[in-house]
Amino acid sequence: MVGFRVLGPLTAETAAGPVNLKGPRHQAVLARLLIAKGRVVPVTWLIGDLWEGDPPDGALGAVQTFVGALRKALEPDRPPRTPSRLLVTVPPGYALRAEPDAVDAWRFEAAVAESARLLAGGQAEKARVLLEDALALWRGPAYAEFAELDWARAEADRLTELRLLAVERRAEAATASGQAAESVPDLRAHVAEHPLREDGWRLLALALYRTGRQGDALTTLRRAREVLRTELGVDPGAELRQLEADILAQEPRLSDPAPTPVDEPFVGRESELADLVQTAVATASAGRPGLVLLGGAAGAGKTALARALTRRLAAMGWTTAWGASPDLPSVPGEDLAVARFRRQRAMGEYLAKLGGRGPALLVFDDLHWADEETLALLTGLATDPGAGPVLLVGTYRSTEISAELAGALGRAARAEPVRLYLGGLSEAQVADLVRAVSHREPTAEGLRVIHRRSAGNPFFVRELARLWEAEGSLHAVPAGVRDVIRHRLSGLPDTTHLRQAAVLGEEVDLEVLIALAGDEDAVLASVESGLLAGFLVEQDADRVRFEHALVRETLYEDIARARRARWHAAAAEIIEQRRPEDVAAIAHHFLRADSAATAERAAHYARAAAELAERRSAPHEAARLWREVVARSEGRARLEATMGLVRALAVTGDLAQARRLRAEAVTAAMGDPLLAARVIGSFDVPAIWTANDDEAHSAELVVAAERVLAELPDGHPVSRARLLITIAMERRADTGGRGGEAAAEAVRIARAQGDPALLALALNGLFLQTFHRAGLAPERARIGAELVDLSARHGLVTFEVLGHLIQLQAHAALADLATADDHAAAADALAERYELPLVGVFTEWYAALRLAITGHVTEARSAYRAAASKLTGTGMSGLERGILPLALLGLDPDTPFGADWGPYEPWARPRGQSIPDSPRDLLFEARTCLHARFAIQSGQTAVMEHLYAELLPAAGELAGAGSGLLTFGPVARYLGDLATALNRPAEAATHYRQAESLRRS
C-alpha cells in the first residue's frame, strides 16, 4: 500500500521506501487529487489549477504526462498495459483511489471525530491518547508547498482549524481524566499563538483552577479579557464570564470530577449525540428553554443517549439533573390547578437561578411511566421563557404511550420540540457494539445473524453477544431478552393470534392468519394491538412482520408442542389450497408438524422445495431439505433423495460425505438400469481439478457406468448422456481416449436435446479431457467462455463459477493476468453471494500465483503458505498433498529436500538416471519443464529431443500457471535451454526472446 503524508511537505512512501514524486507540477497533480478525497477531478480543473487560469499550448498532454509518471512512481510493479488501481482514469478526469488509512490527513480527521465519541462516552483518557497520536502526525503546515494556492487554501485552512480543535480537545480530555497539570504548558503555548480563541483561555483557566492555582486561573481570565478588548474591542463571551464567576464562587462542579462509570459502551448514536449537543448550544445562546423528546422501543438506547449527553454537557460546564425537582412547600386543601401552577412557577424560578450560573440540562427519563404532575411540569417548563437557558430532555417508549403521555406530547408541540426517534443500529454499528461488549472477535456471519435477529436493538444486541460469548450459540433467545418480551406481552389482552402468527414465520400473510384463526375481526384487532405495542410492523395491507426475530421466537417457544404441531399442519393445508406453488412454505409447515399423518406430504413438498433450492443456487438450504426427504422416504425415492443430498453436500464443501453416500446409493441401485442410470448420472457437481480425490472410488463408478450404459434400453438419450459424462468426469485427463470419446458424445447429445444444464455438465467433462498435449490453454479458455455465457443465461450458478475458474487458469497460463483477475473477482463475487466455500480456495491460490508471476517472491511465499492452510479439511486430497512444496519450488529451486512432495517427488527431487513422463493434466507443463531441467543436467540427448517436442506447443505459456496455482516461469525459457543443449542456437534465441516478452507482459 502507498502511504501519503500531507500534514507538512507532500511525500509518498511504500514498503520499499520513499517514492520519487518527480517535479513540482507532478506533486501538484497528486496534491490536487488527494484533496478531492477519491472524487473525480476533471482534467480541465487540473489544467486551470496547475497554470492558475493561463494554461500553455499542450497543457492537456502535459497533464497526461504528469499522470503517467506518477503512476509509474506509485505502482512500479504494475505490469505494462494493465490499468492503474490507484491513480485511475474516470471521465472526465482522474481520481486517486487511496485506502482510507493511507493518507495522514484522513487518519487525523477520523481520530478527531472518534475523540468526540470517546469523550461523550466518558472515555477521556482514551480520547487523550488518541489525540496525542493524531497530533504527532503533523510535520508542518498542511499541504505546505501549495497552501497559498487557491485550490489548496481552503483544505489547508480547514485542516489547520481542525488541528487547533484537536489541541483544545486534547486539553479537555486531559483535564477530564485528572491530568490538568500536564495540559497547562501546551495550553499556554496554544493561547500565546492563538490569543483570540476563547476556548483555549477557558481550558487553561479551568486546568489551572483544578491544579489548585485559583489566582493564576483568574489572572488568565483577566488577560483574556484584555486581549479581546485590545484586539477586537469586545468583552469575553458568556462561557468565559461564567467560568470567572464560578471560580470566584468556588463552584463544586469545577472540582476535578471523579471518573464517570459507564455501565455500557456508548456505540452507534454518535450522530444523534452531535445533534443534541448542537441543540444544547442553541438553547444556551437563546437564553430560553429548549425541549427534546426522545422516543424509541424498549432497549433502543434512549437512556444511554441521555446519559452520554449529560456527560458531554457536564464536561462543557453545564449543570445537569435527572428526573427530580427540589422540594417545594404545599398548601393543604389547595386547588390542584393552583398547586400545579405554584409548583411550575417555583421550578421555573429555581431553574432561572441555576441559569444565572450557566445553562442547565434536566432529563425526564421514562415518561411513559410518569404521572400527570410530572408531565404537566415538563410541558409547563418548556413553554416558560422565564426558566432561562435550560434544555429539557424527555425519553419515552414509543410503543407504550398512555393517554396522559399522548396529551402531554400534544401540549408540548407549542414549544416546537426537537423530536428524535431511535431506530435499530446498522450492521456496522452492531459490529462495533458486539466488539465493545465481547472479549473475542466475532465472525462476519455471526455479526450478520446478531443484526438480523436483534433488528439493531442495542439491548437485544448486547444480550445476544453475551449469549454467544458464554455458550457459543446465536440461535437461542437470551434469558434477559425473553423476560423483557414476556413482560411486554403481558400487557396485551390476548396473545393467541400473535402466537399463531409466530407459527407462520417472521413475515405473516394476514389471509393465512385469518384462515388459521377463523375470526377476521379478532385477528385484525390483535394485529392492531401488536402494531401499537411495537411487536409487529406493517409491510402492506396484506402482510405484517415481527419487529424482532427474538419476539417471534419467544412467542413460538412458549407454545405447547402439541398445539404448535397442529397449527403448523393447518397452516400447510391453508397455503396448499391458496398458494400451491409455494412449495417451500408448505414443506416448512408439514415438516414442523412432524406428524405420522402428514409424513408423506412432508416428503413430497420437501423434495419439491429442495429441487427449487437447487435451481435457485441455495445449496445449504437444498442439503437441509434433502436430509428431511431421505429421513421420510424408502426404496427408489430414498435413493434419488440421497443423490440430491450428495449434490448439495459436494457443492457446500462436504466432499468426503458426498463420496460415501454416492457409493452407497450406486451399489443399492445396480440391477435396475434406469434407476442406476438416474443415480449414477445425478451428480451435477462441477469439477475443476484433473486428479481424482479418490481414484478407487472413481474406478468403481466408471465400471458401474459402463455396465449400466451397456444395459440401458434405447430411447433414453439424457440418461445415456449423463452416464457418458460420468465416465468423462471420473476418467479425467484420460490418455486412453475413452474419456474424450465419452465427453464428445455427451456434448453432441446435450446440444441436440437443447438442455442447458446437461450441456453445462457435458462441457465440464469435455474440459477435463483437454489435457492430451501441452499448449491447450486457448481451447480450455473457449470452453470456459461458453460455460459462463450458457450458465449466466440459464441461472446455473455453480457452472458459471466453474467457467470463470477455467478462464482464470487458461488466462494465467497465457500470462494475461488482467483477464484472469477479472474472472477471479467474478468467481469470488458469485461464491460470496451463494455461499460456495471451495471457490475461495482456488482464488486464494491464484492470488499467490499472481505474486509469483510478478516477481514478489517474499509475499508469494507467505501467500502460498496461507493458501495451503485453506486446503486442509476440504476433502480435496487429490490436490492437497505435495502442492505447497511444488509451488515453493517454483519460487526457489533450493526448497528443502525433506518436504513431502507427494505425487510430485519424481520430478521435484529425481533419483537415479530416469524420470517418468508427466501425467497429462493441469500440471503437465510444470512437471515436463522440471524433467527438461534434469535431462539437460544429465546430458540425455534423446530425452531432451522428446521433451522439446512435447513442450513446443506451449511455447507461449507460463509453465504450471494453467493450474491457477503455481508456475515455473515461461515454457519458452526451458525450450531455449533445451535448444541450447541440443546445439540449436537460432531456435534458442527465438525462445529466449519469447520468454523475455512473457516475463515483461
H helix intervals, 177-197: 180-193
Residue 270: how many other CB atoms lie within 10 Å: 18
Half-sphere exposure of 327 (CA within 13 A, CB side): 1
Separation CA 186–CA 171 (nearest Å): 8
pLDDT tens-digit readout, 565-613: 999 999 999 999 999 999 999 999 999 998 888 889 999 999 999 999 8
Burial of 333 (0-12, 13-18, 19+ CB in 10 A): exposed
Q: How confident is the model at residue 471 (pLDDT cuts 50, 70, 90)?
A: low
For the four alpha carbons of 235, 237, 242 and 244, in that order, the dihedral sign comes to negative
Q: What is the DSSP letter of 875?
A: S
Q: Where do we find the cell 501546551?
A: 186
* pLDDT over 90 (residue 907): yes
Judge whether 389 and 360 are in contact, CB under 8 Å.
yes
User: Is residue 441 within 8 Å of residue 535, measured between CB atoms?
Assistant: no
Look at residue 550 and tell me whether its pLDDT is greater than 60.
yes
What is the tens place of the pLDDT at every residue in 275-314?
898 899 888 888 889 999 999 888 888 988 998 898 888 8
With the C-alpha atoms ordered 853, 854, 857, 860, is the resulting torsion angle positive or negative?
Answer: negative
CA angle (178, 181, 183) in 5-degree steps: 90
3-state secondary structure 904-925: HHHHHCCCCCCCCCCCCCCCHH
Mean pLDDT of 948-973: 96
Q: Which helix (H) or strand (E) holds 214?
A: helix 214-232
All three cell numbers of 107 = 487518519
Average pLDDT over the chain, rounded to an integer: 86
Which residues on neighbouring strands pair with residue 957, listed in sequence order?
none
- What one-letter code names the amino acid at 55? P
β-strand partners of 364: 394
Specify the residue for cell string 396484506.
Answer: 542
Residue 590 Cα distances to 557, 570, 602, angstroms:
18, 9, 5
pLDDT of residue 352: 53
Enumerate residues 6+ apart whose C-beta is below 8 A from 611.
Answer: 622, 644
692 vs 733: CA distance, rounded Å: 10
| Lowest mean pLDDT, pick from 221-230, 327-336, 551-560 | 327-336
Which residues are CB-neighbours of 148 under 8 A, at least 6 positions away? none
User: pTM here?
Assistant: 0.54
The pLDDT assigned to 172 comes to 87
Query: What pLDDT, on a 0 to 100 scale, did the predictor assign at position 353?
Result: 56
Task: Give percent above pLDDT 70 in the chain.
Answer: 93
Distance CA 668, CA 205 (A): 90
Mean pLDDT of 103-113: 88
Strand 87-90 versus strand 93-96 pairing type: antiparallel
Return the ∠ at Cα 267 (arms to 265 and 269), rounded to 5°: 130
895 pLDDT tier (thresholds 50, 70, 90): low
Chain centre distance of CA 383: 47
Sign of CA dihedral 379, 380, 382, 383: positive
Query: Percent of the chain, pLDDT > 90?
Result: 36
The helix/strand/coil state of 737 is: coil
Which of 84-88, 523-527, 548-552 tops mean pLDDT?
523-527
Q: Is the pLDDT of residue 793 over 80?
A: yes
